[in-house]
């Protein structure tokens, strides 16, 4: 079984976000960029399936600028077998990402796509569902457990109110939630080995997908700060303030 894992290069989750004062966006210049955390979970899950003898090949794919090669090398260092960079300097919306991924699926013919539920920069939470719809493959989003057997995937999903389990015919699209696994760190020897693994580059324009934005971003601003609060010295003072000042209890 072959697994395709889309990975996005995003601002590292531990870096404080700096919103440009002119409203044009977030300052990414010279910032630490990393693989989207949910995509690390997706790569880990694919590797686990390979280690269990269920998957035979893992291909990582990223749509982005030349630097997204680093993100793909991270996936290769974790254990992916090969990588595809669909190169573009444009900001690509989830719908166009899904269309590009559909084209990559046509080239790679995977049996399963595992990807993040959400990119922590745009917080869109839509690409996996879109890809599933465009491919006509079943989807299981927000996965916290994936079992593959007899040509089917049984996936437990984190939903409002608890957990839900679905059974999907393969090929299918799965998106990862936080509890699916804990991604491994790549060892130094594996980082070295990853440099020799195949990384193919495709020009995004060659896939015939329009990269033009359809949502116009009018402005990006910092949210209003909360008004400063105060420290209280005791439980009694807290209860008193909640009753008479805040009047919430």
Partner 1 sequence: MTILVLAEHDNATLAVATAKAVAAARAMGGDIHVLVAGAGCGAVGEAAAKLDGVGKVLVADNDAYEHHLAETVSELIVHLAGGYSHIVAAATTTGKNTMPRVAALLDVMQVSDITAVVGPKTFERPVYAGAAIQTVEASAETVVVTVRASAFDAVGDGGSAPVEAVDFVAGAPKVRFVSRDAAVSAGPELANARIVVSGGRALGSEDKFNEMIKPLAEKLGAAIGASRAAVDAGYAPNDWQVGQTGKVVAPDLYIAVGISGAIQHLAGMKNSKVIVAIDKDPDAPIFAVADYGLVGDLFALVPELTEAL
Ligand X SMILES: Nc1ncnc2c1ncn2[C@@H]1O[C@H](COP(=O)(O)O)[C@@H](O)[C@H]1O
Ligand Y SMILES: Cc1cc2nc3c(=O)[nH]c(=O)nc-3n(C[C@H](O)[C@H](O)[C@H](O)COP(=O)(O)OP(=O)(O)OC[C@H]3O[C@@H](n4cnc5c(N)ncnc54)[C@H](O)[C@@H]3O)c2cc1C
Distance CA 5, CA 9 (A): 13
Indicate the residue among 187 and 220 with the shorter CB distance to ligand X: 220
Distance CA 81, CA 76 (A): 6
**Mutual angle of helices 94-108 and 127-135, in 10-degree steps:** 50
* CB-side neighbour CA atoms (13 Å) of 208: 3
x/- map, 208-227, ligand X, by CB under 6 A: --------------------
Does the bond joining 108 to the residue before it have cis omega, within 30 degrees of 0?
no
**CB of 7 vs ligand Y, minimal distance in Å:** 14
Indicate the residue among 48 and 241 with the shorter CB distance to ligand X: 48
**CB of 226 vs ligand X, minimal distance in Å:** 27
Label residue 165 left, alpha or beta by phi (over 0 means left) and psi (-120 to 50 means alpha). Answer: beta
Out of ligand Y, ligand X, partner 1, none, what residue 6 binds, judged by CB under 5 to 8 A for its kind, is ligand X
Out of partner 1, ligand X, ligand Y, none, what residue 60 binds, judged by CB under 5 to 8 A for its kind, is none
Question: Phi and psi dihedrals of 106, rounded to 5?
Answer: -60, -35
Out of 46, 59, 84, 115, point to the residue binding ligand X (CB under 6 A). Answer: 115
Out of 4, 11, 34, 37, point to the residue binding ligand Y (CB under 6 A). Answer: 37
Length of the chain: 249
183 binds ligand X (CB under 6 A): no
Binding positions for ligand Y, 70-129, rule CB under 6 A: 120
Question: What residue is closest to ligand X based on CB?
Answer: 116
28 binds ligand Y (CB under 6 A): no
Residue 173 β-bridge partners: 113, 139
Indicate the residue among 30 and 182 with the shorter CB distance to partner 1: 182
**CB of 76 vs ligand Y, minimal distance in Å:** 22
Out of 92, 146, 172, 173, point to the residue binding ligand X (CB under 6 A). Answer: 92
Using an 8 Å Cβ cutoff, are 197 and 178 in contact?
Answer: no
Out of partner 1, ligand Y, ligand X, none, what residue 64 binds, judged by CB under 5 to 8 A for its kind, is ligand X
Distance CA 113, CA 55 (A): 12
Indicate the residue among 205 and 213 with the shorter CB distance to partner 1: 213
Question: Phi and psi dihedrals of 121, rounded to 5?
Answer: -95, -60
Indicate the residue among 37 and 138 with the shorter CB distance to ligand X: 37
CA distances from 78 to 32, 59, 81, 184, 192 (A): 19, 12, 9, 7, 11
Contacting residues toward ligand Y, per CB under 6 A = 13, 37, 120
Residues that bind ligand X (CB under 6 A): 6-8, 36, 38-39, 62-64, 92, 94, 97, 115-116, 118-119, 122, 124-128
């Amino acid at each position: 079984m072959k697994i395709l894992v889309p990975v996005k290069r995003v601002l590292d989750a531990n870096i404080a976000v700096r919103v440009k004062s002119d409203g044009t966006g977030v300052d990414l210049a010279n910032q630490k960029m990393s693989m989207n955390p949910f995509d690390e979970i997706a790569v880990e899950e694919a590797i686990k399936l390979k280690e269990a003898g269920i998957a035979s090949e893992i291909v990582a794919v990223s749509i982005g600028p030349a630097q997204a090669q680093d993100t793909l090398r991270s996936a290769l260092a974790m254990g992916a077998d090969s990588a595809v960079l669909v190169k573009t300097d444009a900001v690509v919306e989830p719908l166009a990402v899904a269309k590009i991924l559909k084209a990559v699926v046509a080239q790679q013919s995977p049996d399963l796509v595992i990807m993040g539920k959400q990119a922590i920069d745009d917080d869109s939470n839509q690409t996996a569902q879109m890809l599933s719809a465009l491919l006509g493959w079943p989807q299981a989003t927000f996965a916290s457990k994936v079992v593959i057997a007899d040509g089917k995937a049984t996936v437990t999903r984190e939903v409002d109110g608890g957990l839900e389990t679905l059974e999907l015919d393969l090929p299918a699209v799965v998106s990862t939630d936080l509890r699916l696994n804990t991604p491994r760190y790549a060892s130094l020897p594996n980082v070295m080995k990853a440099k020799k693994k195949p990384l193919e580059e495709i020009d995004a324009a060659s896939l015939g997908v329009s990269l033009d934005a359809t949502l116009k971003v009018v402005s990006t601003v910092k949210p209003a700060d909360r008004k400063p609060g105060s420290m209280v010295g005791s439980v009694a003072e807290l209860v008193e303030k909640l009753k008479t000042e805040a009047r919430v209890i």
